[in-house]
Amino acid sequence: MAKLPVSEEHIITQFGPHKNYSPKEGYEGRDEPDQLVKTHCCFCGMQCGIQLSVKENKVVGFEPWMEFPFNEGRLCPKGVQRYLQNNHPDRLLSPLKRVEGQGFVPTSWDEAMSKTVKEIQRIQKEYGNDAFSVLSGVSLTNEKSYLMGKFARVALKTKNLDYNGRLCMVSAGAGNKKAFGLDRGSNNYSDLEYAEVIIVAGANVSETFPTLTHWIWKARDRGAKLIVIDPRIIPLARTADLHLDIRPGTDSALYGAMLKYLADHDMLDHDFIDNHTSGFQETLDAVKDNTLEWAEEITGIKKEKIQQAAELWGRASTSFLLHARGIEHHSKGVDNVLGCINLVLATGRIGKPYCGYATITGQGNGQGGREHGHKCDQLPGNRDIENPEHRKYISDVWGIDEKDLPGKGLSAYEIIEAIHRGEIKGLLSICFNPLVSLPNSNYVREALEKLEYYVCIDFFLNETARHADVVMAGSLQEEEEGTTTSAEGRVIRIRQAVTPPGDARTDTSIILELAKRLGVRTKFAFENSEEIFNELRVASKGGTADYNGITYKKIEDNMGVFWPCPTEDHPGTPRLWEDRKFKTPDGKAHFNPAPYKLPGEVTCVDYPVILTTGRVVSQYLSGTQTRRIGKLVDQYPEPLVEIHPNLAKQFGIRQRELVRVSTRRGEGIFPANIVETIREDTVFIPYHWSGKKSANQLTPGTLDPISKIPEFKVCACHLEPLNEIAPPSNESTAYASV
Ligand SMILES: Nc1nc2c(c(=O)[nH]1)N[C@H]1C(S)=C(S)[C@@H](COP(=O)(O)OP(=O)(O)OC[C@H]3O[C@@H](n4cnc5c(=O)[nH]c(N)nc54)[C@H](O)[C@@H]3O)O[C@H]1N2
Ligand SMILES: Nc1nc2c(c(=O)[nH]1)N[C@H]1C(S)=C(S)[C@@H](COP(=O)(O)OP(=O)(O)OC[C@H]3O[C@@H](n4cnc5c(=O)[nH]c(N)nc54)[C@H](O)[C@@H]3O)O[C@H]1N2
Ligand code: SF4
Ligand SMILES: [Mo]
């Protein structure tokens, strides 16, 4: 029987109906804290330092942490409001079980655990170990990320484990590994300050990494030129020297044309290319036909602007290239990343002061979480699960026989496909809300309905969890000790400020208890997070992401340590590649041909408009956390479809008129936001909402063949005005039900 989601009225057995929470107005309403705890924001990869105010085991507010070097006290709207989660009325306070006809009812930990273990064992006995899968996430600390990898391979003995970074960092990771043999941004961000030219490609920095803008402004104050590549005139683009208004899905054509221009006008660093790279000629050959005219035709950017960009980039003596999901969320995401890296290598501006290149890591622990082995193809230290030596090393650390270590499993969306096909029957998810965040959500929902057993660990009942059999009340970031690794590669300390409320438990204790009940207690005999970290250090030793020399004390003493850090007397590595010793097999940085290819779906008569999706400043990811915070909801209460006035006119669409947006996968209705800041052939919808307000009803499940990232940033859609002006946004429209 299909397992339908537990409906709204059935979720109120434990707590009240969903609320957006903003309890007290202003500072006056706040209690004097008992203590201030120096830790980091739980949201994006900037991992801004923050002090949480704690009173009677509750987080009641925050203070800036001025000394933390990256953000120096600055915070964005989300960081300022995050403290409202710990005490939120929707907070899960005990495990829940599904009772047909009643919905979710509170249950005991013992029952939740024994039911889960029984079902895991039943499914694995009946269908094989790999029929039980795990989806993990990188809002989790390094310790928990490591633990989830070990738990899946050692306790569950399944190969089918993957993580939400599959929707986020993997195109950049694959590109970086190909080019440098290592997956980390090359510099700490203070190197931006003296860069002469900065390229920001597919990154809406002011909304998605607001505190990073500080370092860009510093460079601007010194006269740096700024080039922004985005189909929208994003806030950063309004101040830029050049805005390249690219047609979604065509980045590699732009980078190819820029590379050819640099070569044709001899703006290359021959010494660097000859001595420290390989693959240049082959890469150049691949772009020999990429003229400016050709690139204008493909990308929609005027050729004069492409030329100007190449001139600025080619003639600079210091520079920084930053990119994010705008170029990576594509079925050619790895190619786009390689196209950017080729421009950096051609000019040799890497591994030198004020010269750098980085993908801007998205999730809080998006950097650390992609190193410690909860990816389907990876072991700790960013090791390769298919490499015999790597397998042997990690098997020894874990005290298991190498042949018992599962091999490469399916990636996140492929796990959903395998559930759909009936090959995978069970799922444990932690820190992942696939029903909202994966593409083609109608298909994802069908898969969830087919699961024989699903257990979710979260502190809020996210939309996917409504399909669960058991929901385990886990912990917020501020409820456990640990570490994360910021987008810069800086390993930092997350401090426990409070203990989990009610009968909720720490994520770690839940996983350890499950491991114990699955019969592998001795392999998971950790007393605290520091012990897990110390095992992680050993497991990472000798890998490219080497944490061996990092200790909790060293992090605290230095407000962070940059990996790689192989020994305890090593200071860490803020700027990579100064020694020119790349981690590729031949020790050189690799150029890679990245010729332009069409996206997975192009416009046609039936679907004539390009749809792209992304974020707004006040909401975070699938919205589970930020849609519950009233002040953030007020800033942007519901998803709007951004549309250019000329396109709106063509379809007869008025401001705030409801528009049915449809694609080959589904449809959704969104109020129109008519703005001049978007290309005329493209519409944009932010994806932080669920159900009928979800942008992912529309997006395709097309994956990059190498990274397996979904193509969130380009598909073809149709627009239909519904001749009805949307009512003013309010709370009830803001929190849409599934
Ligand atoms: N407020 C907020 N901040 C966040 C998050 C959040 O949810 N909310 N999430 C965090 C996470 S996990 C991530 S991954 C990051 C994401 O950070 P970003 O990548 O900056 O965010 P997006 O909005 O997904 O996409 C960025 C831009 O890509 C542009 N774009 C779309 N298609 C293309 C294209 O084909 N080429 C180019 N060049 N640009 C294109 C869009 O117009 C958009 O402005 O943000 C992090 N920070
Ligand atoms: N259309 C479209 N879709 C996208 C994107 C896009 O640009 N467009 N962006 C993609 C990107 S870049 C990303 S990163 C994904 C993100 O997608 P998800 O990872 O699914 O989004 P989150 O909202 O982080 O969901 C994580 C869940 O983890 C829970 N959680 C957070 N911290 C913890 C913790 O410490 N412990 C436990 N137990 N639970 C925790 C939250 O409550 C939430 O329910 O979405 C992707 N989806
Ligand atoms: S920029 Fe990112 S880490 Fe900093 S406060 Fe905002 S959401 Fe938090
Ligand atoms: Mo992300």
pLDDT in tens, 673-703: 999 999 999 999 999 999 999 999 999 999 9
If we measure between CA atoms, which residue out of 16, 26, 20 comes closest to residue 61? 26
Q: pLDDT tens for residues 538-552? A: 999 999 999 999 999
Q: Tell me the C-alpha to C-alpha distance, in Å, between residue 326 and each of 75, 134, 240, 711.
A: 23, 28, 17, 10
Q: Whose CA is nearest to atom 44 of ligand 1?
A: 204
Phi, psi dihedrals of residue 690, rounded to the nearest 5°: -115, 180
Size of the chain in residues: 738
The 10 Å Cβ neighbour count of residue 667 is: 15
Query: Which pLDDT score is estimated for 5?
Result: 78
Contacts of 454 (CB under 8 A, 6+ apart): 3, 426, 427, 428, 429, 448, 467, 468, 469
Closest ligand 3 atom to residue 209 Cα is 1
Nearest CA to ligand 3 atom 8: 79
Cα–Cα dist 552/575, whole Å? 22
Give the mean pLDDT of the chain.
95
For helices 412-420 and 441-450, the axis angle rounded to 10 degrees is: 60
Closest by alpha carbon to 276, among 358, 196, 347, 382?
347
From 59-63, 166-170, 380-384, 449-453, the region with the lowest mean pLDDT: 59-63
Tell me the chain's radius of gyration from C-alpha atoms.
Answer: 25
Fold identical between 101-168+365-552 and 609-731?
no
Q: Which residues contact 12 (CB under 8 A, 6 or more apart)?
A: none
Nearest 5°: CA angle at 429, between 427 and 431? 170
- Range from 27-41, 177-191, 246-260, 365-379 carrying the lowest mean pLDDT: 27-41
Whether omega for the bond prior to residue 645 falls within 30 degrees of 0, making it cis, is no
278-306: per-residue pLDDT in tens?
999 999 999 999 999 999 999 999 999 99
Q: Is the pLDDT of residue 736 over 50?
A: no
On whether the CB atoms of residues 300 and 681 are closer than 8 A, the answer is yes
Domain ranges of the chain: 6-87, 101-168+365-552, 170-360, 609-731
Strand duo 490-494 + 482-485: pairing: antiparallel
> How far is the C-alpha of 633 from the C-alpha of 86, rounded, in Å?
18
Gap from CA of 276 to ligand 2 centroid (Å): 39
Interatomic CA distance for residues 251 and 612, integer angstroms: 14
For the domain bounded by 101-168+365-552, which CATH number is listed? Answer: 3.40.50.740
SS3 145: helix
Which atom of ligand 1 sits closest to the CA of residue 621? 7
Q: Closest by alpha carbon to 345, among 364, 321, 367, 366?
A: 321
Residue 444 has pLDDT above 80, yes or no: yes
Which residues lie with the beta carbon below 6 Å from any ligand 3 atom?
Answer: 41, 43-44, 46-48, 75-76, 78-79, 209-211
Q: What is the pLDDT of residue 492?
A: 98
Sequence-distant (6+) residues with CB within 8 A of 573 are: 489, 562, 563, 564, 565
320 has which bridge partners? Answer: 198, 356
How much is the average pLDDT of 376-403?
98
* pLDDT of res. 730: 59
**Cβ neighbours, 10 Å, residue 17:** 11
Distance from residue 64's CA to the centre of ligand 4 (Å): 25
- How far lies 236's CA from each of 199, 243, 397, 640, in Å? 11, 9, 47, 21
Q: Could you tell me if 501 and 381 are in contact, meaning their C-beta atoms sit under 8 angstroms apart? A: no
Distance 543 CA to ligand 3 centre (A): 29
Hey, what are 448's tokens? Answer: 């969830």
Provide mean pLDDT across the span 558-568: 97
In this prediction, residues 499-525 reach a mean pLDDT of 98
588-598 pLDDT per residue, tens = 999 999 999 99
Q: For residue 64, give the amino acid letter.
A: P
Other Cβ atoms within 10 Å of 677 Cβ, number = 18
Q: Using a 6 Å cutoff on CB, does residue 167 contact ligand 2? A: yes
431 Cα: distance to centroid of ligand 4 (angstroms):
13
DSSP class of residue 524 equals G
Helix (H) or strand (E) holding 650: helix 645-651
Give the mutation target among 42, 43, 44, 247 for probing the ligand 1 site: most ligand atoms within 8 A of CB: 44
Residue 722: count of CB within 10 angstroms of its CB: 12
Cβ atoms of residues 456 and 462 within 8 Å: yes
| Section 213-234 average pLDDT | 97
Residue-level pLDDT at 6: 78
CA 672–ligand 1 middle distance (angstroms):
20
The predicted pLDDT at position 298 comes to 98
In this structure, how many other beta carbons lie within 10 angstroms of the beta carbon of residue 602? 12
HSE of 688, CA atoms in CB hemisphere, 13 A: 24
Alpha helix locations (H) across 270-317?
A: 270-276, 280-286, 292-299, 303-315
Q: Any idea which ligand is nearest the CA of 477?
A: 2
The pair phi, psi for residue 63, each rounded to 5°, is -135, 150
Testing ligand 2's pocket by substitution, the residue of 135, 164, 323 carrying the most ligand atoms inside 8 A of its CB is: 164
At 582 the pLDDT is 97
* SS3 state of residue 353: coil
CA torsion 474→475→481→485, rounded to 10°? 100
pLDDT of residue 460: 97
Strand order in the sheet with 426-430: 103-106, 96-99, 470-473, 453-458, 426-430, 132-136, 161-163
Cα of 456 from ligand 2 centre, angstroms: 14
- Is the predicted pLDDT of residue 473 greater than 60, yes or no? yes
Task: Give the side-chain half-sphere CA count within 13 A for 17.
Answer: 8
**Would you place residue 23 in the very low, low, confident or very high pLDDT band (cuts 50, 70, 90)?**
low
The atom number, within ligand 1, closest to the CA of 326 reads: 28
User: Once rounded to an integer, what is the mean pLDDT over residues 471-483?
Assistant: 98
What's the 243 CA to ligand 1 centre distance in angstroms? 16
Q: Is residue 145 lining ligand 2, measured as CB closer than 6 Å?
A: no
621 lines ligand 2 (CB under 6 A): yes
Spatial distance between the Cα atoms of 426 and 413, rounded to a whole number of angstroms: 15
- Please report the pLDDT score of residue 26 as a whole number: 55
Using 50, 70 and 90 to split pLDDT, how confident is the model at 734?
Answer: very low
The answer for residues whose C-beta is within 8 angstroms of residue 431's C-beta and 6 or more apart is: 136, 137, 138, 139, 140, 164, 457, 458, 507
Say if residue 732's pLDDT is above 70. no
Per DSSP, 73 falls in state T
Residue pair 386/416 in contact (Cβ under 8 Å)? The answer is: no
Residue to probe by mutation, ligand 2, list 141, 370, 621, 702, most atoms within 8 Å of CB: 621
Atom of ligand 1 nearest to the CA of 209: 47
Q: What is the 81 CA–ligand 2 centroid distance (Å)?
A: 18
φ, ψ for residue 243 (rounded to 5)? -115, 120
CA angle 20, 21, 27 (to 5 degrees): 145
- Buried/exposed 491-511: b ≥16 CB within 10 Å, e otherwise: bbbbbbbbebbeebbbbbebb
| Dist. CA 417 → ligand 4 center (Å) | 21
CB count within 10 Å of CB 65 equals 21
What average pLDDT does this structure show over 389-413?
98
Q: Which of 146-150, 613-617, 724-728 has the lowest mean pLDDT?
A: 724-728
Residues with CB under 6 A from ligand 1: 44, 168, 201-204, 207-209, 229-232, 234, 246, 248-249, 251, 324-327, 362-363, 612, 614-615, 617, 619-621, 684, 713-714
Q: What's the 324 CA to ligand 1 centre distance in angstroms? A: 6
Cβ 684 under 6 angstroms from ligand 2? no
Partner residues linked to 105 by β-bridges: 97
- Residue 542, pLDDT score: 97
Domain range 6-87, its CATH number among 3.90.230.10, 2.20.25.90, 2.40.170.20, 3.40.50.300: 2.20.25.90
CATH T-level fold of 170-360: Dimethylsulfoxide Reductase; domain 2 (3.40.228)
The residues near 315 (Cβ < 8 Å, ≥ 6 apart) are 267
CATH fold, domain 609-731, is Barwin-like endoglucanases (2.40.40)
Closest-CA residue, ligand 1 atom 22, reads 614
Largest CA distance in the chain: 72
> If you take atom 47 of ligand 1, which residue's CA is the nearest one?
208
Mean pLDDT of 379-391: 98
Ligand 1 geometric centre to CA of 270 (Å): 34
Q: Are 617 and 44 in contact (CB under 8 A)?
A: no
pLDDT at 29: 60
Question: Do 671 and 641 contact (CB within 8 A), yes or no?
Answer: yes
Query: Ligand 2 centroid to 362 CA: how many Å?
Result: 10
Mutate to test the pocket of ligand 1, among 206, 251, 306, 325 (most ligand atoms within 8 A of CB): 325
The ligand minimizing its distance to the Cα of 507 is 2
List the beta bridge partners of residue 359. 323
Q: Which atom of ligand 1 is nearest to the CA of 76?
A: 1
* Lateral strand order in the sheet of 482-485: 482-485, 490-494, 561-562
C-alpha angle with apex 693: 690 to 698, nearest 5 degrees?
95
Q: Which atom of ligand 2 is nearest to the CA of 329?
A: 7
How much is the average pLDDT of 215-227?
97
Instruction: Tell me the pLDDT tens digit for each residue of 97-129.
Output: 999 889 999 999 999 999 999 999 999 999 999
**716's tokens:** 């073809």
* Three-state DSSP class for residue 535: helix
